[in-house]
Structure 1
Amino acid sequence: MTEIKHASRGHAVLSASGAKRWMSCTPSARLEERFPSTDTVYSLEGTRAHEIAEQQLRTFLEGKKSKVKYEGDDLRIYDEVLPYIERIKELYAECKKRSESTVMFLETRLDFSNYVPDGFGTGDVILLEDDTLHIIDLKFGKGVRVDAENNPQLRLYGLGAINAFDDLYDFKNVVMHIEQPRLNHSSEEVLAKEELLKWGDDLKPIAQEAYNGDGKFNPGEHCKFCKASGCCKALADYSLEVIDESILDPQLINPVELGPILERIPTIEHWLKAVKEYSINQALAGEYIPGWKLVEGRSLRKYTNDVDVINALHKAGYEDALIFEKKLYGISTMEKNLGKKKFGEVLGDYIYKPEGAPTLAPESDKRPEFKPQQALIDSIEVPEGI
């Protein structure tokens, strides 16, 4: 059995979190090595959320009550990650009810290098329940909803967990969970162990190609988090060569051509932003970009300190009515302040959801199709008696 280790969050060449990208575009993994890894406000916040969750869950497993008092940003992060912590406790209780022998592991290093060269990752929570292996991954971001179905990161973690525990447990199923507390989103995928192992075997040649830096560049929506996207020529070609002038009307875009264009818009928008950011960084590093120069951007005036401003205005004799504005909390904040149950009891009759404005989505989208003509017919009120 592989030694179970408490994980330090390092990075592999073929990371599990970037698996969708290097599986789709095999040369990208080695290309990204040319660019330094940088922490962002969001990544640091996510790391802290994982630390707080682990801290609280370890205390729970020890049968103790947490005595940690969070302040400032830590308190905010704790409040936002608390639904995840409670969800893990709930899952653990459910598993314990079915099998008293259920055990939980936190922040476990998972080795899946028998499928992906040098491959490893960190399992946030692992629950071992007789013939079922649970992998739970915390996603603290709120910009993009992440689903468990066909999620290569979770599947790699599942393979790593099988490597670690398979000789102790006779697993038949692997359940992979995504918990995204700030979007109130939970998702899971259930695979038979043999099905997951088959997926891993099919992945081996792709992973080896990516590790070698071989294969063809394949731009697409998976480029979003690639460190090379701001200067990748393949992505530039993909973004710029949208119109095929050899088909249909060479002067006007035909509806048939709109589909591929709409499909590429998110990637093109990301590419434009990445190119601009890369260009600014190049200029800041002293590189000359012909026809361009660095200038100071526009900025907005800010108070140096809100409390000092309030005190100065009070001292000058101004009333609060000229200093503050009263505004009703938004629905999400109000629901959080009151709690879901009380919110429904007190304000349920005063909440409505207007119809969303028509928007385009792929035909695979699960929402029903909006038909303008039918909507118009449905909106017509027919007087009684006619």
Structure 2
Amino acid sequence: TFDNTTLACLFGATELIESWCKSIRAKAAAELLSGQPVPGYKVVQGRQGPRRWADMTAAEAMLKQLRIKSKDMYDISLISPTTAEKLYQAGVIGDRQWPKLQPLIHRAAGTPVVVPTSDKRPPLALQDATDFQDLSDMPIPPLPDTAPSLQSQETP
């Protein structure tokens, strides 16, 4: 383990170390792809990409020929907030309509990230363990008879 001063020094070097690791991976891949052996390593085919129609028009025609119903052939989905904003900027959604959509838009908060103290963003307000209500004197209610036994559950 490290004290926080050592941790700060090491953390400051992570970007350089990650960059170095990335360049090592790239060099090893380049060597292997050019036919040069790198002892203990090889190049393999990665995971396949997502499936898509090679020819959308031909696929649509074939699905129609197979008498697949239109409701089963096509996916209809609601536009995203980003698409709605683009429609607003293009004038399709009006100035009086756009504010009505705002309360319906949810945006998840960003995950905490470690940055240098010189970063302009305010520090995250962390909740201390002492900020919680003391529940140590509260009785624990018995489990209902319908609850499955913990011993009978298998772990994945």
Q: Following TM superposition, by how much is the alpha carbon of 1:267 offset from its aligned partner in structure 2, in angstroms?
A: 3.5
| Structure 1 residue identity aligned to 2:71 | A
Large movers: runs of 4+ above 4 Å: none
Q: Counterpart in 1 of 2:102?
A: 348
Determine which structure has the larger helix proportion and give its number: 1
- 2:29 is equivalent to residue 280 of structure 1: yes
**Which of 357, 361, 376 is the equivalent residue of 2:115?**
361
Change (3 A) 1:282 1:355: closer
Q: Counterpart in 2 of 1:267?
A: 16
Contact 2:32-2:43 within 8 A present in 1 as well: yes
**Helix, strand or coil: the match of 1:371?**
coil
- 2:44 is equivalent to residue 298 of structure 1: no
**Helix, strand or coil: the match of 1:373?**
coil
Determine which structure has the larger strand proportion and give its number: 1
1:67-89: per-residue Cα shift (whole Å, max 9, x none)? xxxxxxxxxxxxxxxxxxxxxxx
CA distance in 2, matches of 1:306, 1:260: 54
**Which of 316, 322, 327 is the equivalent residue of 2:77?**
327
Q: Following TM superposition, by how much is the alpha carbon of 1:364 offset from its aligned partner in structure 2, in angstroms?
A: 0.9
| Structure 1 residue identity aligned to 2:59 | V
CA distance in 1, matches of 2:76, 2:3: 50
Q: TM-score, normalised by structure 2?
A: 0.61
Q: Following TM superposition, by how much is the alpha carbon of 1:349 offset from its aligned partner in structure 2, in angstroms?
A: 3.2
Of all paired residues, the percent bearing the same amino acid is: 23
Change (3 A) 1:275 1:330: farther
- 2:92 is equivalent to residue 338 of structure 1: no
1:226-258: per-residue Cα shift (whole Å, max 9, x none)? xxxxxxxxxxxxxxxxxxxxxxxxxx2433333
Structure 1 unaligned blocks of 5 or more: 1-251, 381-386
> Considering only CA atoms, is the larger Rg found in Structure 1 or Structure 2?
2
Q: TM-score, normalised by structure 1?
A: 0.28
CA distance in 1, matches of 2:78, 2:85: 12
Q: Counterpart in 1 of 2:148?
A: none
Q: Counterpart in 2 of 1:232?
A: none
CA distance in 2, matches of 1:311, 1:317: 10
Q: Following TM superposition, by how much is the alpha carbon of 1:269 offset from its aligned partner in structure 2, in angstroms?
A: 3.0
CA distance in 2, matches of 1:325, 1:354: 26
1:246-276: per-residue Cα shift (whole Å, max 9, x none)? xxxxxx2433333233333333333333322
| Structure 2 residue identity aligned to 1:362 | P
Mean CA deviation greater in 266-275 or 358-367? 266-275
Aligned length: 127
Q: Following TM superposition, by how much is the alpha carbon of 1:352 offset from its aligned partner in structure 2, in angstroms?
A: 4.6
1:343-380: per-residue Cα shift (whole Å, max 9, x none)? 63342333354543333221111111122237x96xx9
| Structure 2 residue identity aligned to 1:367 | R
CA distance in 2, matches of 1:270, 1:324: 44
CA distance in 2, matches of 1:321, 1:270: 49
CA distance in 2, matches of 1:354, 1:284: 41
RMSD: 3.2
1:148-207: per-residue Cα shift (whole Å, max 9, x none)? xxxxxxxxxxxxxxxxxxxxxxxxxxxxxxxxxxxxxxxxxxxxxxxxxxxxxxxxxxxx
CA distance in 1, matches of 2:38, 2:8: 35
Q: Counterpart in 2 of 1:234?
A: none
Q: Counterpart in 2 of 1:122?
A: none
Change (3 A) 1:287 1:315: same
Change (3 A) 1:352 1:283: closer
**Which of 67, 70, 86 is the equivalent residue of 1:317?**
67
Higher relative contact order (CA 8 A, sep 6+): 1
